Chain A
C-alpha cells in the first residue's frame, strides 16, 4: 500500500472525467464487497440507444483512496445547488462541497464516520459536480463507532443532530419489529394540527397547513403475542430469538418526518431486511377528510435496531407473473436509460417506467448496472407487434443498485422543470399514467424520429405549462400530447391522490385493480413499420411453405400462361388489427415513382387512399383513422388506407362565386423516364382529360352558410382530430352484392349530409323548368364536416348567351396538366368545379378558338372541388347513394369470390360538395348527355362497352401498330405476371442482378400480362407496362377498371397502351387457398369455339409450328408447338367444385357446370414419342372428353347400367353432367394413375376425395370409366409449350406430386390449346411437309 495515493473530491471534480479506481481491491479485504466483476454485456442493444457504444470507465493506474465522511442528505429541501433529489448519500472530504454518492455494502454504522473509499467509480455530473460510487470501503479507525445494543443488534438512533420531531418522548414508547416492505418517495406533505385532540391530522386541502418533508415506510409485522405486545422494544430480544418463526403478514406504516426524513437513502437500502424500530409513537392520520389510518410516527428518540447478520426477508411474490399489474421484484441488467431516467430498459424487452416525478431513480442507475426493482408492477401489454414486459413503478417501488456499472455511462438526473407533456402525464391515475406514459414515450420517441426536420422539437413536445386537470388554457400542446390525449378515454383523467393515499390504499385500489388499457395502437416511424411488416411477410410466407398441403397452401404462386410458368410475387394482406400500428405522416407524391406516399422523416410507403380529399395538402400531417390494409407483394410496398382529414376552411371561399363544371373523362398514367439508374416519373407530366360542361354553377351567396360542426383550423394538429365515426366496410354486407358495398362505404358522408339545412321549400325545389336552362338546387359540403352551402343555380351555357358562354354547342374536351400533388385527387368519371375567374385558364380557353384538344396547365394553387349530383330525395332520405352514372362504374358481377373486401374505392361517392338536384333533373348526367348529344363523349364506361372517344393522345395508329377500339374493361384481377422469353429463368436472374444498368434494361423490356375475370371469363390484357407503372396496390384480388385499353380488332384480345389508365375499385383479400388457386390456375382463357375443343384465339400473333413430340427435345426455345396425338393414359386429374355466384346466369357460350379442373396430366403419344401434357380448366376438360356425349351404349352392351343414368335429357347426356353430380358431394376429387403410363388398360387408377364423404363405388367406377374413356379418343391437335425444368419442379412442389420415374423421363408440355384434328387439313399439311422434303 505504499503507492497509495489519496485523492480528494476536489481533485476528482477538477478532472471532471469519469474514472474508476478498483485496482486497490485486495483479496484480504475485510469487507464482504461485491465487486463489479461481471463481464460487460456483449450483446448489443437492438433498440435505439441514446447511450451509444459505451466504453469502460477509465481506470486509474495506481491505488487511489479517497478518505472522507459519508453523510445523510441534508434535511432542508432547498439545499444549495446539489442534486435535487435530496435522497442521496453525501460524501465529503473537506476539500470541496459534498458530492452525491451511492454505496454497495451499506452498513448503518458508516454514517458520519470517516471512511477509506478503496474502490470506487466517479461520474461527473453537470449540476452537482459529480457522483461517487463506493464499491468498497473501510473504516479509518478500527472501531465502527456505533454502540451495539445487543449481540445481534446494532443500535442506530435516527436523531443525529437537531431534532424537529413532534410530540413528547413519553408517547414514544412504541416499537415495531418486522420486515421493511417498501419506502415511499420523499415528499412534502401538508399537515394541519388537530383542533381538539392530540392527534395530528393531515389534510391535503387545508389552507393553514405547513409542509413537512417525509416519507412513509411500510413494514410487514408479525401478529404473534411477542410482537403485538405493547412493550415491543423489550420484546425485541425475544422476537429475535424466535425470528424464524415469525410470519410477517400485517402491514404497518411508519411515517418518517423531520430529522428522520434524511434517512430515506438508508431505508431504501434496507428494503427487504428485517429490522426493529423503537421510539415510535402512534398517531391517527386523516387522509383527506374521510379516511383515517393508524400509523407510527418517528420521534426524537426513534432508533433503528439492525440485525448484524442481516437476513433478507423474502418478499412474497406471485410465483407466476401474469403481467396483470401484480407486484413483485425484478432483478436485471440496465441496458439503457431514456427520457431523463424515466424509462429504463432492463434486459431484453423489459421496460421499467418511472411514472412519477417523485420517484427518483438513483444516480447509479446507469446502463450496465445490475439493479433490483422492488415492489414493481408487472404488466404484460400483450402487444401483437412485440413481446415486452413493463415494470410500472409506483410509490412503493424502490430501485436498488446491486452492482455498479463498469461502463462509462452517464447518470440521469430528473429535471424538475417539466414540459407540458410531463405535467399532463403526472395528472393521471396510476394505471392510466403508466399506459399513457408508456404510450407517450413511444409516441414522443417516434414523433421525434418521424418528424425530425419537419417539425421543431417544441411543436412535437409542446412548450408551455399545461394543467389539464384544472382546465387552464393551454398555451401550445405539442403534437404528441394532441395525439396521445385524443387516444385516451377521458375516464382516465382522475384526480391524483397524494403519496399517502396511494401508498396506503395501494393494494386495494390505486395500482392493481385498475383496468389496464388494452388494444393499444402504436405509432412507429415508418422505417420500423416497414421492417416489421417485411418480417411479418417473411414469416407468413415461411409458414405456408412449411405446410405444403395440396393446394391449400402454396409456397410458390405459380402462374401458367401459354405453357410457361411465371413466378408471381407472393401477395399478402395484413389488416391494421393484426399490425396494431397507427400510421401518421404526410401525404406526398414520390419524386421518383410519382406515386402517392405516406411520408415521415424515416421512410415512405406507397398508399392508396379511397377518399382522398381534394383539400389534401402535402404540408399537413394525416393520420389513418380507420382500418387499413397492408399489401406486401415482394419488394414493392403498397399500403392502402383511409386518412382522416379536416375539410371545411377551403370551402368558405365558395360564397358568391361562379364555377365552371368539369367532368374528368380520363387520366393518363404518369410518364416515366429513365434518369440514371432509377425510373423517374416526370412530375410535370401528369395529364387528365376532362370535358368542360356547358353548365355553370352560381352560388347565390345570399344565404347564410351554416356550419353545424366545427371548422378546423390550419394548424397541423387539427388534422390529427379523430374522425367522429369510424368508417369501416361492413363485412357482412360486403359478401352481398357490390352495390351494397358501395353504399356502406359512403355511409358516413351521407349520414352527415342528412343533417344539413335546406334553404328552399321542397315544393319549389322538387321540380324545376329545365327548359329555362337554369336548375336551382341546394349544395352542401359533404364529408366529416357536413354543412349546407345554401342554394345554387346551375346555369346552362351551351346556348349562346349574352354572358359569353362556351363557344360551341357541346362541352369542350381539354387536357389538364396537373402538378404531381393534385393528380391523385381527381378521379375518372367524377365531376369537378373550378372557380370561374377572369384570369382563370378555363375562361381563357373559352375565349380561345382551339380546334381540337386544348391544353390547360393547372397550377397548384388552382383548386378543383369534387361534385356529386344527388337526387333531391337523397339529400333528405339519405337512402340511395348512386346516380345511374356512377352505377355504371361498378361491376356488380365480379363478386364471385367470397373474399373479404378490404378496401372499397368509391369513385364518385367521395365528394367535396353534393348538389341536390330536383326530381326531374335527377339524371343530371342524362341532361348533360343530351347537351352533348353531338357524340363527343360517353363519359362513363362499362366493361366491354366501347368508348367511342378517339384516342386523345394521338397514338398514331398506322399499320405498324395493332389496331382496334379503345375500350374500358372492368373486372377482377386474377393474376399479373411479366412476360419474358423464359419467365422463370428471368425471374431468377432478376433476383441476382446487381448492375443497375442491367436492371434498367430488364425493366425496360418487361411487358406485363394481366388476367382479368370479366363476366366469369378470363380476359388477358397485355402490354409493355412495367411493374412500376401499375397503381399502388394493384395485383391479384383487385377489382379494377382498365380505361382505354385497346381491343385488338377481331382478336378478342386487349392491350394496355401508353394512354391506358388503371383505376382500382376495390381490393379483396386473395389468400392462396384452393379457391383462388383455381382462379390463378385459370390460365389464359377465352370463348370456346367448338363443342369439343378448347381454343385460344390469340394464336395469330404467334407462329405455331407443327411438329412431333420427339422434336420437342430440340425445341428448347420454348416456342409453342402444335402436334397431333392421342391420349394413352392419365397421370393425374384433379377435379374441383366451382363456386358459383348465385346471381350468375349462364350464358350460351358458358357451360353451366360446376366442374373445375385445376390440374390434369395426360400421357400423349403421336407415334414418334410420348410426353406428359399438363392442362387445366377447359383444356383439361376437353382432353377428358367431358363435353362429349356419355357413351351410354357401352353399358347397354354390357348389360351393366348405372342406376342414375338418364338417357332422355339432352343436357345430361354430356359426360360432365355426371361429374357435376359427383362433385356436388365432394369438394375435390383426385384421380391418380399408379399403373402403366403407356397402355390404357393397364392404368391403375386411385380415386381420393377431400371431403369426409366417401365416394360411392358407383361414382368411383364412373370416374374411372370417364378416365378410361378419355384414353380412347380420336386425334387431338394440341398447341403447347415445352415446360422447363423449373416449371416442372415448381409444379410438382406446388401440387405435391410424386411423378413416376416413367413420367419423369418424358418431355413435359403445357397445353395452351386443345381441339380435335381435322384429318383433311392436317393431311394437307403433312403432305405439304413431305413434298417440301
Chain B
C-alpha cells in the first residue's frame, strides 16, 4: 500500500471521498481508507454547508455539498470533558476547545466552508472528523477547489499507485 499521501490532506471531491475503500483487518483496528491503492488519512473539502446538527458540548454534525455529493463532517466539541484529551495540558485543551467552538459558530447553513480533517467512518459512511474550518467568502474558491481536485487527481492521486506497482 502506498503511504506517500497518508499525511497529506487530500483534496477529493465528495463523490470520490465517499467512494474510498474502507478496510479493517479486525474490529478493534481503526478503519483505513484507500483510493486507488493509496492509503489516505486526511482530507480537505470545500462546499456549502447544507445541514447542521449541534449537540452542545458534544459535537456539531454538518454536511458539506461540493456539487458532486455531500460529505458528512463531525466537529467535536467535547474536548474539555473527553478522556481523549485528558493527557494534554488543560490550557492547550481549552485553546483547542475554544477554536472548535469558534468553528462551530461559523458553520451556518449556506456558507461555503473549507474543511480539513481526518477521514473517518460512521456507520459505514465516510466522513470527515473536522480539525479546522475556514469560511470562504469568495465564490471562486469552490471553482478553484474543483479544478484543484481534478489537477491533483491527474497529477498525483491517480499516478502514484501505478508508479509503485
Minimum CB distance partner of A1333 in chain B:
B154
- Contact A1268/B95 with A1167-B9, A1167-B44, A1239-B42 known, Cβ cut-off 8 Å: yes
CB distance from A944 to the nearest CB of B (A): 38
Chain B stretch 120-164: residues in CB contact (< 8 A) with chain A: 131-134, 136, 138, 140-141, 143-144, 147-148, 150-152, 154-156
Q: Mark B88-130, 1 if CB is under 8 A from A, else 0.
A: 1001101111110110010000000010101000000000000
- Contact A1193/B154 with A1167-B11, A1319-B143 known, Cβ cut-off 8 Å: no
A1240 to B103, CA, bound (A): 14
Query: Is there a chain B Cβ closer than 8 Å to A1197's Cβ?
Result: yes
- Residues of chain A touching chain B, judged by Cβ–Cβ distance below 8 Å, are 1108, 1110-1111, 1124, 1126, 1128, 1165, 1167-1170, 1191, 1193-1195, 1197-1198, 1200, 1237-1241, 1244-1245, 1257, 1260-1261, 1264-1265, 1268-1269, 1271-1275, 1302, 1317, 1319-1320, 1322-1323, 1326-1327, 1329-1330
Query: Is there a chain A Cβ closer than 8 Å to B8's Cβ?
Result: yes
**When the two chains form the complex, which single residue of B9, B141, B155 contacts A1319, counting CB atoms closer than 8 Å?**
B141
CB distance from B131 to the nearest CB of A (A): 5
Which residues of chain B are within 8 angstroms of A1269 by Cβ–Cβ distance?
Answer: 99
CB distance from A1273 to the nearest CB of B (A): 7
Q: Mark B4-39, 1 if CB is under 8 A from A, else 0.
A: 110111110000000000000000000000000000
Flag if A1108 contacts B155 (CB, 8 Å). Answer: yes
Which residues of chain A are within 8 angstroms of B5 by Cβ–Cβ distance?
Answer: 1169
- Contact A1195/B7 with A1241-B131, A1323-B147 known, Cβ cut-off 8 Å: no
Flag if B141 contacts A1330 (CB, 8 Å). Answer: no
**When the two chains form the complex, which single residue of A1170, A1261, A1327 contacts B8, counting CB atoms closer than 8 Å?**
A1170
Closest 9 CB pairs of A and B: A1319-B140, A1167-B11, A1323-B144, A1326-B147, A1194-B102, A1238-B7, A1320-B140, A1319-B144, A1272-B132
A1261 to B99, CA, bound (A): 13
Which residues of chain A are within 8 angstroms of B102 by Cβ–Cβ distance?
Answer: 1191, 1193-1194, 1197-1198
**When the two chains form the complex, which single residue of B95, B116, B150 contacts A1265, counting CB atoms closer than 8 Å?**
B95
Which residues of chain B are within 8 angstroms of A1165 by Cβ–Cβ distance?
Answer: 8-9
- Contact A1322/B144 with A1197-B102, A1272-B134 known, Cβ cut-off 8 Å: yes
Most buried by A among B99, B118, B134, B143: B99
A413 to B94, CA, bound (A): 92
Which residues of chain B are within 8 angstroms of A1257 by Cβ–Cβ distance?
Answer: 91
Flag if A1274 contacts B136 (CB, 8 Å). Answer: yes
A1264 to B4, CA, bound (A): 30
Which residues of chain B are within 8 angstroms of A1271 by Cβ–Cβ distance?
Answer: 132
Minimum CB distance partner of B88 in chain A:
A1244
Taking A1165-B8, A1239-B118, A1264-B95 as known contacts, 16 extra A-B pairs with beta carbons closer than 8 A to each other, sorted by chain A number, are: A1126-B44, A1128-B9, A1167-B148, A1167-B152, A1168-B8, A1168-B155, A1168-B156, A1169-B5, A1191-B102, A1194-B102, A1198-B97, A1268-B96, A1269-B99, A1271-B132, A1272-B133, A1326-B148
Minimum CB distance partner of A1265 in chain B:
B95
Flag if B10 contacts A1170 (CB, 8 Å). Answer: no
A1167 to B114, CA, bound (A): 13
A-B contact pairs, 24 of them (CB 8 A): A1110-B4, A1126-B44, A1167-B148, A1194-B101, A1195-B98, A1198-B97, A1200-B98, A1240-B131, A1244-B88, A1257-B91, A1261-B94, A1268-B96, A1269-B99, A1272-B99, A1272-B133, A1272-B134, A1275-B141, A1275-B144, A1320-B144, A1323-B140, A1323-B147, A1326-B147, A1327-B147, A1330-B154
Flag if B7 contacts A1198 (CB, 8 Å). Answer: no
Flag if B91 contacts A1260 (CB, 8 Å). Answer: yes
CB distance from A301 to the nearest CB of B (A): 104
**When the two chains form the complex, which single residue of A1241, A1273, A1275 contacts B99, counting CB atoms closer than 8 Å?**
A1241
- Residues of chain B touching chain A, judged by Cβ–Cβ distance below 8 Å, are 4-5, 7-11, 42, 44, 88, 91-92, 94-99, 101-102, 105, 114, 116, 118, 131-134, 136, 138, 140-141, 143-144, 147-148, 150-152, 154-156
Interface of B is mostly: helix
Flag if A1167 contacts B144 (CB, 8 Å). Answer: no
CB distance from B75 to the nearest CB of A (A): 11
Minimum CB distance partner of A1323 in chain B:
B144
Minimum CB distance partner of A1236 in chain B:
B7
Which residues of chain B are within 8 angstroms of A1110 by Cβ–Cβ distance?
Answer: 4, 155-156
Which residues of chain A are within 8 angstroms of B147 by Cβ–Cβ distance?
Answer: 1323, 1326-1327, 1330
Minimum CB distance partner of A1110 in chain B:
B156
Which residues of chain B are within 8 angstroms of A1245 by Cβ–Cβ distance?
Answer: 92
A125 to B54, CA, bound (A): 114
CB distance from A1198 to the nearest CB of B (A): 5
Which residues of chain A are within 8 angstroms of B9 by Cβ–Cβ distance?
Answer: 1126, 1128, 1165, 1167
Which residues of chain B are within 8 angstroms of A1167 by Cβ–Cβ distance?
Answer: 8-11, 44, 148, 152, 156
CB distance from B39 to the nearest CB of A (A): 14
Flag if B114 contacts A1108 (CB, 8 Å). Answer: no
Most buried by B among A1108, A1198, A1271, A1330: A1198
- Contact A1273/B42 with A1167-B11, A1198-B101, A1330-B147 known, Cβ cut-off 8 Å: no
Flag if B8 contacts A1169 (CB, 8 Å). Answer: yes
**When the two chains form the complex, which single residue of B88, B94, B131, B143 contacts A1323, counting CB atoms closer than 8 Å?**
B143
A1322 to B148, CA, bound (A): 10
Flag if B92 contacts A1274 (CB, 8 Å). Answer: no
Most buried by B among A1200, A1244, A1264, A1319: A1319
A1271 to B9, CA, bound (A): 13
A924 to B165, CA, bound (A): 84
CB distance from B150 to the nearest CB of A (A): 6
A1329 to B144, CA, bound (A): 12
A1265 to B143, CA, bound (A): 31
Flag if B101 contacts A1261 (CB, 8 Å). Answer: no
A68 to B127, CA, bound (A): 119
Which residues of chain A are within 8 angstroms of B44 by Cβ–Cβ distance?
Answer: 1126, 1167
CB distance from B144 to the nearest CB of A (A): 4
CB distance from B11 to the nearest CB of A (A): 4
Which residues of chain B are within 8 angstroms of A1302 by Cβ–Cβ distance?
Answer: 7
A1265 to B155, CA, bound (A): 36
Flag if B95 contacts A1169 (CB, 8 Å). Answer: no
Which residues of chain B are within 8 angstroms of A1191 by Cβ–Cβ distance?
Answer: 102
Which residues of chain B are within 8 angstroms of A1275 by Cβ–Cβ distance?
Answer: 141, 144
Which residues of chain B are within 8 angstroms of A1240 by Cβ–Cβ distance?
Answer: 131-132
A1168 to B11, CA, bound (A): 8
Flag if A1268 contacts B99 (CB, 8 Å). Answer: yes
A1167 to B13, CA, bound (A): 12
A1302 to B6, CA, bound (A): 13
A1128 to B116, CA, bound (A): 10
A1212 to B91, CA, bound (A): 24
CB distance from A704 to the nearest CB of B (A): 86
Which residues of chain B are within 8 angstroms of A1327 by Cβ–Cβ distance?
Answer: 147
Minimum CB distance partner of B140 in chain A:
A1319
Minimum CB distance partner of B147 in chain A:
A1326
CB distance from B36 to the nearest CB of A (A): 15
Which residues of chain B are within 8 angstroms of A1237 by Cβ–Cβ distance?
Answer: 7
**When the two chains form the complex, which single residue of B92, B97, B143, B154 contacts A1264, counting CB atoms closer than 8 Å?**
B92
Which residues of chain B are within 8 angstroms of A1197 by Cβ–Cβ distance?
Answer: 101-102, 105
Which residues of chain A are within 8 angstroms of B105 by Cβ–Cβ distance?
Answer: 1193, 1197
Which residues of chain A are within 8 angstroms of B131 by Cβ–Cβ distance?
Answer: 1239-1241
Which residues of chain A are within 8 angstroms of B42 by Cβ–Cβ distance?
Answer: 1238-1239
A630 to B44, CA, bound (A): 59
Flag if B94 contacts A1200 (CB, 8 Å). Answer: yes
Which residues of chain B are within 8 angstroms of A1193 by Cβ–Cβ distance?
Answer: 102, 105
Flag if A1273 contacts B152 (CB, 8 Å). Answer: no
CB distance from B88 to the nearest CB of A (A): 8
Which residues of chain A are within 8 angstroms of B133 by Cβ–Cβ distance?
Answer: 1272
Minimum CB distance partner of A1195 in chain B:
B98
**When the two chains form the complex, which single residue of A1261, A1274, A1317, A1322 contacts B114, counting CB atoms closer than 8 Å?**
A1274
Flag if A1241 contacts B98 (CB, 8 Å). Answer: no
Which residues of chain B are within 8 angstroms of A1239 by Cβ–Cβ distance?
Answer: 42, 118, 131
